[in-house]
């Protein structure tokens, strides 16, 4: 860069020199070859006027995870925590209460209004936000970005979590009982209810070694110089599958969407039932997760979840695999291959701009996205 050819003596005004030096350093840090672009907020991770609530966050990601973990509770864990159903409506059901998925500022606002009104004092389960892995990944990514650590939301699947079949079945039986599923049958014939619940859990999970849709936070580890997966909710796998994991979710138990796509396209033994998520068949769901992961990497988080009745949602979530054209199929194959190579932001944006089937209007209208068009 031309700036390097100058010294401080070449510039009479030292203030200008330092400004240029800072500009140079900023340009270096903003290089497309580095992870630094992911320190900028996205539309869902910007704390807005509630940023002050994050000022006392620790500097390390594990400390941040410890704080994030006690702010939310997964909706499928309410029976485990012995929260009566009649109290669920009194709690902060942050999503899916409405159509739009909440951003972190909405979550922080709800937490500020609920005892203990801060992130740094223990929060009882009944005072936490009810959500799911999607909202948990938004929240954690926003906290980490606030500390100027590169972070991004990733879409994929829990995998290899069904080995302890009896434990998995027992968890879902308790879960379905706590949610009041088929209470009439439970009261009339408990044995028949138990058989029905066993049939459901075995068919949908155990027998096919089910992959469960999952969203995580991925952050840049400066020490190891690589992206690593974080999941602040360590309770879910322990309770549902008897698997102990730390905040760094092992790759053994997480499959990126692009990995699932490549298996689907190349394996003779692919079983679409492994990835089916009602109302979608397995192939349709993998396509959706691959696209959602792509748009998150472009800093346009969870495309279509802000307008679940709009054209973007129709394209990303509701378009079936059978409707995919050969041109789109080829581009999805190329996208999965690209994502398997840890692409830079420039690689991702170049792919987006060259695509004929995967461009979406909402990403180009989102000022936070890397493909924003003014």
What span, in angstroms and rounded, lies between the C-alpha atoms of 353 and 345? 12
162-186 tens-digit pLDDT: 999 989 988 988 888 887 777 787 7
- For the whole model, what pTM was predicted? 0.88
Q: Which range has the worst mean pLDDT, 74-78, 98-102, 151-155, 332-336?
A: 98-102
For the segment 148-170, the average pLDDT, to the nearest whole number, is 95
How far is the CA of 8 from the CAs of 2, 13, 54, 242, in angstroms? 14, 9, 38, 62
The C-alpha torsion from 230 through 236 and 241 to 246, rounded to 10°, is 30
Half-sphere exposure of residue 116, counting CA atoms within 13 Å on the CB side?
Answer: 10
Residue 3 pLDDT grade (very low, low, confident, very high; cuts 50, 70, 90): very low
For the segment 259-272, the average pLDDT, to the nearest whole number, is 96
Residue 19 pLDDT grade (very low, low, confident, very high; cuts 50, 70, 90): low
230-239 tens-digit pLDDT: 999 999 999 9
- Take residue 321 and report the two structure tokens written for it: 């695999």
What span, in angstroms and rounded, lies between the C-alpha atoms of 243 and 240? 8
What span, in angstroms and rounded, lies between the C-alpha atoms of 234 and 28? 36
Is the per-residue pLDDT at 30 higher than 50? no
Domain ranges in the chain are 2-30, 39-162+209-365, 165-206
For the segment 85-97, the average pLDDT, to the nearest whole number, is 82
For the segment 347-372, the average pLDDT, to the nearest whole number, is 98
> What pLDDT score does 265 carry?
97
> What pLDDT score does 184 carry?
80
DSSP labels for 92-123?
EE-SSSSSSPPPHHHHHHHHHHSTT-SSSS--
Q: Which range has the worst mean pLDDT, 33-37, 84-88, 103-107, 248-252?
A: 33-37
Residue 56 main-chain phi, psi, to 5 deg: -100, 15
Q: Which range has the worst mean pLDDT, 124-128, 309-313, 352-356?
A: 309-313
190-200 tens-digit pLDDT: 888 777 777 76
For the segment 81-105, the average pLDDT, to the nearest whole number, is 84
């Amino acid at each position: 860069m031309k700036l390097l050819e100058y010294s401080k003596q070449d510039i009479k005004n030292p203030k200008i020199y330092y400004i240029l030096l800072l500009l140079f350093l900023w340009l270096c840090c903003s290089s497309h070859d580095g992870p630094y672009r992911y320190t900028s907020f996205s539309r869902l991770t910007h704390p807005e006027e509630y940023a002050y609530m994050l000022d006392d966050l620790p500097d390390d990601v594990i400390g941040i995870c410890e704080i994030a973990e006690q702010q939310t509770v997964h909706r499928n864990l309410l029976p485990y925590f012995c929260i009566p159903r009649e109290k669920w409506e009194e709690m902060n059901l942050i999503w899916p209460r409405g159509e739009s998925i909440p951003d972190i500022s909405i979550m922080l606002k709800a937490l500020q209004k609920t005892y203990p009104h801060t992130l740094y004092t223990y929060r009882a389960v009944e005072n936490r936000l009810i959500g799911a892995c999607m909202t948990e990944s938004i929240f954690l990514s926003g906290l980490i970005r606030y500390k100027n650590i590169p972070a991004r939301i990733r879409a994929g699947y829990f995998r290899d979590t069904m080995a302890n079949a009896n434990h998995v079945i027992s968890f879902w039986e308790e879960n379905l009982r706590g949610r009041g599923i088929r209470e009439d049958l439970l009261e009339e014939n408990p044995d028949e209810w138990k058989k029905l619940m066993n049939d459901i859990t075995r068919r949908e999970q155990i027998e096919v070694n089910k992959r469960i849709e999952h969203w995580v936070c991925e952050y840049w580890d400066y020490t190891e110089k690589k992206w690593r997966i974080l999941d602040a909710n360590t309770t879910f796998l322990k309770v549902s599958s008897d698997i102990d994991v730390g905040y760094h979710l092992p790759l053994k138990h997480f499959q990126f969407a692009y990995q699932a796509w490549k298996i689907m396209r190349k394996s003779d033994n692919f079983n679409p039932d492994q990835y089916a998520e009602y109302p979608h068949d397995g192939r349709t769901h993998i396509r959706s997760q691959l696209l959602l992961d792509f748009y998150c990497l472009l800093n346009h988080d969870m495309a279509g979840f802000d307008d679940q009745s709009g054209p973007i949602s129709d394209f990303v979530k509701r378009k079936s695999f059978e409707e995919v054209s050969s041109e789109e199929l080829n581009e999805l194959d190329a996208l999965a291959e690209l994502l398997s190579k840890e692409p830079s932001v420039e690689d991702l944006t170049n792919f987006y701009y060259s695509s004929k089937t995967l461009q979406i209007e909402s990403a180009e209208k989102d000022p936070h996205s890397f493909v924003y068009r003014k």
